[in-house]
Chain A
Amino acid sequence: RKEVEQDPGPFNVPEGATVAFNCTYSNSASQSFFWYRQDCRKEPKLLMSVYSSGNEDGRFTAQLNRASQYISLLIRDSKLSDSATYLCVVNIDGSLASGSRLTFGEGTQLTVNP
């Protein structure tokens, strides 16, 4: 079983649509969770951290369900500029000592069409 598993995608949605990405992780000891965004041929960039209480940043909402080991990202009113690959990222080790060990999902590609 993969340590971090995401929706395979790709997702093609019209502008203004709401789209949700799902992610599951296998290690119940995981402590930190993130969504990164990677544009074509560019480096990954942090989109948002994910907290147990859920967090929202403008049109983006992230949720974490520790019991189900499930993370989600919701994008409302999608824009053309949201087209990218979204990476679910988990700190499997759970330790902040001696560097953090992030494990990345394969990513879900999103294309927002005019």
Chain B
Amino acid sequence: ETGVTQTPRHLVMGMTNKKSLKCEQHLGHNAMYWYKQSAKKPLELMFVYSLEERVENNSVPSRFSPECPNSSHLFLHLHTLQPEDSALYLCASSQDDPRSTDTQYFGPGTRLTVL
């Protein structure tokens, strides 16, 4: 399935590096999300964008900076991360139409390791 794609699939970075995660959805959806999934913990919502406007930031540290240039693309810019930020970062999208269900479709994720 290629509805929601993410790059890179794997990333290893040092604490002083700056990197970006990319997400693209081909479903014509209006809402996009970043989630963090750590080992043995539930998915944690990080950011929600609706029609390219950020509508929620769940108290995420400023070392994570999202960007949504259009309704199909979402980025997560990373800088000065900590080892505890190592996790699977998942992007998702949904229709965001009150007339439809709010099912979210996930990308394959970027597995991030911070050394």
Contacts and interface: CB of A to CB of B under 8 A. Distances in A.
Contact of B42 (A96, A101, A104): A104
Contacts of A97: 98
A32 interface: yes
Interface in A36-73: 41-46, 49
B19 to A, nearest CB: 20
A71 B79 CA distance: 40
A45 B96 CA distance: 18
Given A43-B109, A49-B101, A91-B102, A98 B42 contact: no
Q: In which size bucket is the chain A interface?
A: 20 to 34
A101 B107 contact: no
Given A43-B90, A104-B43, A99 B106 contact: no
A99 B96 contact: yes
Interface string A62-94: 000000000000000000000000010001000
B106 A32 contact: no
B31 A100 contact: yes
A25 B104 CA distance: 19
B55 A105 contact: no
A102 B102 contact: yes
Nearest to B94: A100
B66 interface: no
Nearest to A3: B42
Interface of A: 4, 32, 34, 41-46, 49, 87, 91, 96-107
Interface of B: 31, 33, 40-43, 45, 48-50, 55-56, 90, 94, 96-98, 100-109, 111
